[in-house]
Chains A and B, each alone.
Chain A
Amino acid sequence: NAGVTQTPKFRVLKTGQSMTLLCAQDMNHEYMYWYRQDPGMGLRLIHYSVGEGTTAKGEVPDGYNVSRLKKQNFLLGLESAAPSQTSVYFCASGKGGAIDTEAFFGQGTRLTVV
């Protein structure tokens, strides 16, 4: 019963490096989300997807790109990492739509950009 799995769990990047965070869900959910969590700021939505092949911007999309080539996977990319992107990143998935009242979260990826 995996649920939502994020890879990797920890990463340290140098400024300017690129990386991709992978989120995989096995619940056949249509909707997937990427959040960042910063101290004193709660969770903020970066990008989300309402289905395979679709993506949309959230509250803080700048500096990130996403892709949803397969229904079960949602990738978050940082093309040129900056120290301001040091954060804990959470992926979530859900059934979606106005009837959706909860989502399932992964364990998080702690990213440090030096």
Chain B
Amino acid sequence: AQSVAQPEDQVNVAEGNPLTVKCTYSVSGNPYLFWYVQYPNRGLQFLLKYITGDNLVKGSYGFEAEFNKSQTSFHLKKPSALVSDSALYFCAVRPLNTGFQKLVFGTGTRLLVSP
């Protein structure tokens, strides 16, 4: 069965600094990988996805993620953090060619960007 690990419960970064939110995964075969963001009292919003192709994926709000097959990782990055990026971030994985109902979410990482 597939699984996702987000090793950090919280990441603290100062505004303007680069940020990284870590994610590693386990799945049979090739993965579909996703990042979602959840702002307070809101549902999850799609940020970006990796299906195939270029290992560096660009998404919404200036975020990007790098797929590393050998390390089974899909870390979320942003070159310059904003206070408004403070939110809860979820990594998710499902096997290639399966439906959304097979998606497995990580436990989430809270990002706190200080002014």
Q: Which residue of A lies closest to B45 (CB)?
A: A105
How far, in angstroms, from A104 to B42 measured CA to CA in the complex?
12
Say yes or no: B105 contacts A42, CB within 8 Å: yes
User: Could you tell me which residues of chain B, from 62 to 85, have a CB within 8 Å of some CB in chain A?
Assistant: none
Q: Which residues does chain B contribute within 8 Å of A96, judged by CB atoms?
A: 99-100
Interface residue total, chain A, C-beta cutoff 8 A: 28
Q: Which residues from 46 to 98 on chain A have a C-beta closer than 8 Å to any C-beta of chain B? A: 48, 50, 56, 58, 90, 92, 94, 96-98
Complex contacts, B45 vs chain A, CB 8 Å: 105
Scan A28-55; emit 1 where CB is below 8 A from any B CB, else 0. Answer: 0001010000001111110010100000
- Cβ-based interface call for B51 (8 A): yes
Interface range on chain B (Cβ under 8 Å from partner)? 20 to 34
B107 in the interface (beta carbon within 8 A): yes
Per-position contact with A for B91-106: 1 when CB-CB < 8 Å, else 0?
0000001111101011
Q: Pick the residue among B34, B51, B100, B106 that contacts A31 (CB under 8 A).
A: B100
Q: Is the CB–CB distance between A98 and B97 below 8 Å?
A: yes
Complex contacts, A105 vs chain B, CB 8 Å? 43-45
B43 touches A56 (CB 8 A): no
CA of A94 to CA of B105 in the docked complex: distance in angstroms? 17
